[in-house]
Amino acid sequence: MSAKKSRNPSLLQSLLPLAVLIVLLALNVKYFRDDTLSGANQIALILAAAVAGVIAVLLGFKWKYLLKRVTHTIMTAMPAMLILFLIGSLAGTWMISGVIPMLIYYGLEILSPVIFLFATVFICSLVSVSTGSSWSTVATIGVALLGIGTTLGFGEAMVAGAIISGAYFGDKMSPLSDTTNLAPAVAGTDLFTHIRYMVITTGPSWIITLIIFLIIGFSGDYSETSTTTTAVQEAIRARFNITPVLLIVPAFLIFIIVKKVPPLPSLLAGTLLGALCAIIFQPDLLREIAGTDGSYVKQAYISVTKAMFGPVTIVTGDHSVDELLKTKGMAGMLNTVWLIICAMFFGGLMEASGMLRTITGRMMQFVHNAGTLVGSTVATCLFFNVTASDQYLSIVIPGRMYAKKFRDMGFKPELLSRTLEDSGTVTSVLVPWNTCGATQSSVLGVSTWAYAPYCFFNIISPLMTIFVAAAKIKLRRYTPEELVKVQEAADIVDRELLSEEEA
C-alpha cells in the first residue's frame, strides 16, 4: 500500500468512528438520561476518537502529526472557552444583583388569558435571552406557564410548544448561551458578528411564531386565570429589591456590543457592573450569601466572588422560583468546556486523517450554490441530531466538515455559524432520543411527539435559513482580495503542519 493511498480512508473506514460514537451516545441517553453532559458524552467522544486514531495510524499517519492537528483544532475553540467562563461569572453577578429576577418579574406583567400563548413565547424568550439557557427556562418558568395554560383550557402539547419555541429563541440569540458561543467558534467567526447575522433568519422565524400563537390565542374561549404568576412575582419581590434602574446593566451591555467592543472585555464589563449593582441594591441578600460576620465590605466581596466562580442558591420558599434563581458561576461552565475539548479532539482526528474529507466529498456532489450548500449543512445537522443524539455534536461535526467548502465558495464564516444554529441547535429538542428532547419531555411531562408539531419556531428556523440562502438575501462574501488572504492563511497552517509531519 502506497503512502498516498494510506492517506485516503474509504467511506466505510470514515464512517466507523461515527458509528461507534452514535452507539455510545445512544447508550448514554438510555442509561444516563438527562445527565449525559456530566461526563458520559465526553467519554463517548474520547472512545470514538480513539477508534479514529487507530484507523489513522494503521493508514500510515504519524501520531505526532495527528496530535499536532488535534491541538490546533482545540486552540481554535480557546476564545469560546474563555468567553464561557466569563459568561458564568456574568450570570452569577446578574442574578445576585437582581437584574435577571427583575427581567423575569416585569416579563410576567404582560400575561393575560387572550394573549397567553403569545406572552408565553415572549416571556420564555426574555428569560432565555437573559439566562442563556433553554433548559433552565423550560424547567422553571416553563413549568409554571404549563400549569397556567392547562388551567385556561389549552392543551399541554400546545403550551409546551410555545414554551420551547421561546426558550430556544433565547438559546440561539443570547450571548450567554453555550451553543451561541460554540457555533461561531467552530465556524471561525466572533460571537457578536454571529448574533447580528442570525437576526436575518431568526427575527422572521420568531415573528411568524408569535403571529401563529397570537391567532390561536384570539380564537379561544377562556376561563379564569391562575394565581401562579402572582406567587412567582411575590417570591421574587420578597428576596430582591426590584427596580427599573437595574435595566441600566443589560442596556449598557447591549450598547457596548452595538459599538463592537470585543466579547471578552464586553462580558467582563457587564460582570463588574452587575457586581456593583448587587452591592448597591441587594445588601441584605449579599449578607445572607456571605454567611459570615464582619463588615459589609467583607460580606460583599465574599458574595460577589462566590457568584462569579461557583454555585449560589437563593431560597424563596417556592421550589420553582428557587430553581429559576440558581446560578453556577464559572464552575457551571466546566462540563461545557470539557465537552468542547473532547468534541474538538474527535473532530480534529477525523479531520487530520481525511475521514471528514471523504464523507464531505460524497455529500458535496449535491452542492452547486448557496441554497444547496446551506441545505446540505442543515441536512447534516439534522442527521447528527437524530443519530448522535446531541446538539453540540450537530454543531461541531458539520461545522468542521463544511468550513472549508464555505470558504472555497467565497462565503464568510458567519453564514456557516448561522446555519449551524438555525438547524443544529433548534431541532435537537424535536428528537425524542436526543438529550434535549428527552430532557424537555421529562421536565414538562409531555411526549416529544406530542409537542413537536407546536414548536413552530424550531420547525420554521431551518426552513428559513435555506430560503434566505436560496433567495441570496444578504449573503456575506469575501472580496477577491480578502479570499486570497484567507486562503493563504489556511494554506500556511496546512503547510506548517505537513512539514512537522514529514519531520
25: left (phi over 0), alpha (psi -120 to 50) or beta: alpha
Which range among 178-187, 289-298, 300-309, 319-328 has the greatest average pLDDT? 300-309
- Residue 417: pLDDT above 90? yes
Domains of the chain, by residue range, sit at 3-72+336-502, 80-332
* C-alpha dist (Å) from residue 5 to 1, 8, 12, 61, 353: 6, 5, 15, 11, 12
Average pLDDT on 174-178 reads 83
Query: pLDDT tens digits, residue range 261-277?
Result: 777 888 899 899 999 99
Grid cell, residue 210, equals 408569535
Query: pLDDT tens digits, residue range 352-387?
Result: 888 877 876 777 777 788 889 999 999 889 877 876
Distance CA 321, CA 309 (A): 22
DSSP type of residue 425 = I
Q: State what percent of residues in the chain have pLDDT above 90.
A: 29
- Residue 391: pLDDT above 90? no
The mean pLDDT of the chain is: 83
- Residue 467: pLDDT above 90? yes
- Between 244 and 384, the higher pLDDT residue: 244
- Residue 1: pLDDT band (50, 70, 90) is very low
Residue 40 has a pLDDT of 84
- Residue 42: pLDDT above 70? yes
Residue 2 has a pLDDT of 38
Distance CA 164, CA 124 (A): 8
Q: State what percent of residues in the chain have pLDDT above 70.
A: 87
Residue 4 has a pLDDT of 45
- Residue 210: pLDDT above 80? yes
- Residue 148: pLDDT band (50, 70, 90) is low
- Residue 495: pLDDT band (50, 70, 90) is low
Distance CA 346, CA 107 (A): 42
Residues 90, 94, 96: CA angle, nearest 5 degrees? 120
Average pLDDT on 467-485 reads 85
- Between 123 and 103, the higher pLDDT residue: 123
Distance CA 497, CA 485 (A): 19
Residue 139 has a pLDDT of 63
Amino acid at 117: L
- Residue 388: pLDDT band (50, 70, 90) is low
